[in-house]
Amino acid sequence: MNAMLQVEGVSKHFGGLKALDDCTLNVEQGSITALIGPNGSGKTTLFNLITGFLKATKGRVLFEGREITGLPEHRIANLGIARTFQVSSLFPKLTVWENLLVAYPDQEGESLWSVFTRYGSIRAQEEQQMARVYRSLERIGLTQKMEERAANLSAPEARMLEIGRQLMFSPRLVLLDEPSSGVNPAMLDRLADRIIELNKEGLTFFIIGHNLSFIMKLSHYIHVLHYGKLITSGPPKTVAQDERVIEAYLGVHR
């Protein structure tokens, strides 16, 4: 196993607040790695730093050995890192199928020039991509609702659509920010199965979670953040028994 994502000594200060303090961790290729920690411990901040939505105060981030610190958001995404957001982030006025189709990378019809000059080949490409959209719709169980606007979906449906959309551009690493929030228990099992399935197909996951049973079941490796510091890392069983983790979550003093 080798590290797909390396976070090296990353800090993020908002004024006097140290949201992340000298954080170093790896995500192994082919793993399902989790990032846990109490509210406000800097989990989402770390995701935003990795994906370029925030700029780090210090430190660097490497993806597949290449430094990606400071690259713009869309460039990082195009390197193969997909992310979801804490609150499902869809295109509300677009239909469900459009939400999926729009995520296709490098569409010929996205250049203003070829819109007018390459009518035929754009059409052919759209049909090809639509075939994949239909498969994705079936997997996320939204075939019936494909012509609804995304704004009309329920919370679990929105979550599934968001994850489905981020998979459309064939990423190699997927960062899921609280995938379990807003999802009912039945749907959650389905989501977990799907993540395991995709992982077996070779996709690497890095997941933020509050739902600890979901995380413990799923992940191979866990990083724990507390007040912006990495307090421990390890396989689920070790982490669950680690005193520092229990203290961070329950606030027990020895």
Partner 1 sequence: MYNILLFLAGVISLIGIYTLLTLAVNLHYGYAGLLSFGIVGFVAVGAYTYAIVTRGAPVGEDVYHFYFNQPWWVGFLAAGMVTTIFAFIIGLPTLRVQGDYLLIVTFAFAEVIQDLLSNEGYLTNGTRGFINIHQPFRELIPGRNYQLFLAGFIVVIVVIVFLIAQRVGTAPFGRTLRAMRDNEPAALSIGKNVYRFKMEIFLLGAAICGFAGAMYTWYMTLALPSLFGMSVSFAAWIAIIVGGQGNNKGAIVGTIVLLGAQQALKFISTSPELTPMVSSFELILEGLVLIVILRFWPSGLIPEKSPRPPKLAKITEEA
What are the residues binding partner 1 (CB under 8 A)? Answer: 51, 53, 72-75, 77-78, 82-85, 89-95, 97-99, 101-103, 105, 107-112, 115-116, 122-123, 126-128, 130-135, 138, 146-147, 149, 165-166, 168-169
Task: Please state the closest distance from residue 84 (CB atom) to partner 1, in A.
Answer: 8
Please provide the DSSP assignment of 124-168 as one string: HHHHHHHHHHHHHHHHTT-GGGTTSBGGGS-HHHHHHHHHHHHHH
> Which of 79, 212 has the CB closer to partner 1?
79
> Which of 103, 248 has the CB closer to partner 1?
103
Task: Please state the closest distance from residue 169 (CB atom) to partner 1, in A.
Answer: 6
Task: Please state the closest distance from residue 111 (CB atom) to partner 1, in A.
Answer: 7
- Per-residue HEC secondary structure of 36-53 comes to ECCCCCCHHHHHHHHCCC
Tell me which H or E stretch contains 229.
Answer: strand 229-234
Which one-letter amino acid corresponds to residue 78?
N
Task: Please state the closest distance from residue 73 (CB atom) to partner 1, in A.
Answer: 4
Task: Please state the closest distance from residue 234 (CB atom) to partner 1, in A.
Answer: 30
Tokens of 55: 């700029």
d(CA 44, CA 53): 10
d(CA 71, CA 54): 10
> Which of 93, 254 has the CB closer to partner 1?
93
Alpha helices (H) along 169-242: 185-200, 212-218, 236-241
> Which of 128, 184 has the CB closer to partner 1?
128
> Which of 159, 226 has the CB closer to partner 1?
159
- The three-class DSSP label of residue 54 is coil
Task: Please state the closest distance from residue 142 (CB atom) to partner 1, in A.
Answer: 13
> Which of 16, 144 has the CB closer to partner 1?
144
d(CA 121, CA 115): 10
